Amino acid sequence: MERITWDQFFMAQCHLLAVRSTCTRLAVGATIVRDHRIIAGGYNGSISGGDHCIDHGCYVVDNHCVRTIHAEMNALLQCSKYGIPVAGSTLYVTHFPCLQCSKAIIQAGIRRVLYATDYKNDVYAMKLFAQAGVSVQQIPFNEGKIDFSSEEKYSLFEEMLSTMQKLGAKDEELAPFQERADQLFVK
Interval 83-124: pLDDT, tens: 999 999 999 999 999 999 999 999 999 999 999 999 999 999
| Global pTM exceeds 0.95 | no
* Positions in the chain short of pLDDT 50: none
Q: Which of 2, 72, 172, 179 is catalytic?
A: 72
Asked if 13 and 92 touch (Cβ cutoff 8 Å), the reply is yes
Helices in 19-117 by DSSP H: which ranges? 53-56, 71-82, 99-108
Asked if 92 and 68 touch (Cβ cutoff 8 Å), the reply is no
Q: What is the pLDDT of residue 1?
A: 59
Q: Which residues pair with 29 in a beta bridge?
A: 43
Percentage above 70 pLDDT, the chain:
97
Q: How far apart are CA 165 and CA 170, in angstroms?
A: 7
Mark whether 72 is an active-site residue. Answer: yes
